[in-house]
């Protein structure tokens, strides 16, 4: 099913940009209490999981959360989704992509990884490892997954790569940049560069640190060009793509974009986006909607920005509509 979905934005947050940035400035980052687990990956690195565990029967559903670019389990939207899950009596697990886990005592500090690679929009092996691990631990408990922004791209790509998988009963992808190249070009505007600059600040720091710790990684990247990058394409072409085995940014975008995988998704999946998302042009969203498989319920709102979807009559009583809508949808389709 593919349709337009009604969402009424808060009157006090008009426009896509205010919808996009308000939550990051005004919401708490410690809405739920975590139990931290560090798993060793098959290639000898660490993956940090933060679990929301409740006193519930063994068959209680669990939702797996995947954050966006340079986010973590402490991103406000991950906290919001987990709070919604807790309100429904569900367990939750937030997966921190490599190099993204925050020190719980100092959330501004990211914990380093042990291998000469980081993460990217098309890297699905870590997600596959986590899904198999969680499913094996509690085979009787339904497992759902929610990916946000970059996490949505990773989740949809994995679902398209694994159409026969049964471990994840239902999924949702929110504000997904389906076409990474189109998204990057769309952000090459004055306001877009403000968003990009914020991400590039920490991505450049990671590139420098990775080059310092791992000579083999330094040999793959053009670090001086990466440090002068002002766009995602420039940074990806100089650092991110060659570090992870791509010939350049265009090769990375072509192979990693979930647009090429949504037609093969067989798991019941909600795709939720806003037409005014400042991270993705409308035409790319339309192409993703046309390509989506019958298993995808593709919902588009007229407003909402990027991971915004803020409703409510007053600033001191906001409603985070997408978080409510996604959990309600998953509750309706999961076993």
Q: How far apart are CA 65 and CA 146, in angstroms?
A: 5
287: Cβ–Cβ under 8 A, 6 or more apart, which residues? 178, 179, 259
Distance spanning both ends of the chain, measured CA to CA: 19
Task: List the catalytic residue out of 99, 277, 303, 320.
Answer: 277
DSSP codes joined into one string, 212-278: HH-HHHHHHS-HHHHHT--SHHHHIIIIIHHHTT-SSHHHHHHHH-GGGTGGG--S-EEEEEETT-T
17 catalytic residue (yes or no): no
Buried b (16+ CB within 10 A) or exposed e, 151-180: bbbbbbbbbbebeeeebbbbbbbbbbbbbb
Query: Rounded to whole angstroms, what are the CA distances from 296 to 184, 243, 257, 306, 333?
Result: 25, 33, 17, 20, 12
Q: What is the DSSP letter of 151?
A: H
Q: How far apart are CA 329 and CA 324, in angstroms?
A: 9
Please state, as a whole number, how many other Cβ atoms lie within 10 Å of the Cβ of residue 117.
18
Q: How far apart are CA 73 and CA 34, in angstroms?
A: 9
Q: How far apart are CA 335 and CA 270, in angstroms?
A: 16
Q: What is the DSSP letter of 178?
A: S
Task: List the catalytic residue out of 51, 303, 306, 320.
Answer: 306
Question: What does the block give as tokens for 62?
Answer: 């669990």
Task: List the catalytic residue out of 99, 149, 162, 183.
Answer: 149
Long-range CB contacts (within 8 A, 24+) of 247-252:
249/181, 249/184, 250/181, 252/120, 252/122, 252/180
Query: Rounded to whole angstroms, what are the CA distances from 229 to 97, 181, 237, 243?
Result: 23, 16, 9, 16
149 catalytic residue (yes or no): yes
Q: Are 305 and 278 in contact (CB under 8 A)?
A: yes
Active-site amino acid positions: 149, 277, 306
């Amino acid at each position: 099913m593919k349709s337009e979905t009604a969402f009424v934005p808060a009157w006090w947050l008009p426009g896509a940009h205010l919808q996009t940035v308000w939550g990051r400035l005004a919401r708490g980052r410690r809405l739920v209490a975590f139990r931290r687990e560090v798993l060793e990956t098959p290639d000898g690195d660490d993956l940090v999981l933060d679990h929301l565990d409740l006193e519930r029967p063994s068959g209680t559903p669990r939702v797996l959360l995947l954050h966006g670019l340079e986010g973590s389990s402490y991103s406000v939207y991950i906290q919001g989704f987990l709070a919604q899950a807790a309100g429904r009596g569900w367990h939750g697990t937030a997966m921190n992509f490599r190099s993204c886990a925050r020190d719980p005592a100092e959330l501004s500090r990211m914990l380093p990884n042990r291998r000469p690679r980081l993460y990217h929009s098309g890297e699905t092996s870590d997600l596959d490892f986590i899904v198999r691990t969680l499913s094996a631990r509690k085979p009787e408990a339904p497992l759902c997954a929610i990916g946000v922004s970059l996490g949505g791209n990773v989740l949809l790509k994995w679902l398209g790569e694994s159409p026969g998988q049964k471990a994840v009963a239902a999924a949702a992808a929110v504000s997904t940049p389906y076409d990474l190249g189109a998204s990057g070009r769309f952000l090459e505007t004055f306001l877009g560069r403000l968003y990009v600059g914020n991400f590039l600040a920490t991505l450049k720091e990671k590139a420098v640190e990775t080059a310092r710790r791992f000579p083999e990684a330094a040999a793959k990247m053009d670090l001086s060009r990466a440090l002068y990058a002002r766009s995602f394409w420039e940074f990806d072409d100089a650092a991110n793509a060659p570090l992870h085995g791509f010939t350049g940014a265009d090769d990375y975008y072509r192979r990693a974009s979930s647009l090429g995988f949504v037609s093969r998704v067989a798991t019941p999946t909600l795709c939720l986006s806003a037409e005014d998302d400042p991270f993705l042009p409308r035409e790319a969203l339309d192409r993703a909607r046309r390509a989506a498989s019958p298993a995808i319920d593709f919902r588009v709102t007229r407003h909402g920005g990027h991971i915004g979807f803020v409703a409510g009559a007053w600033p001191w009583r906001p409603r985070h509509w997408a978080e409510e809508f996604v959990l309600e949808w998953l509750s309706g389709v999961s076993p």
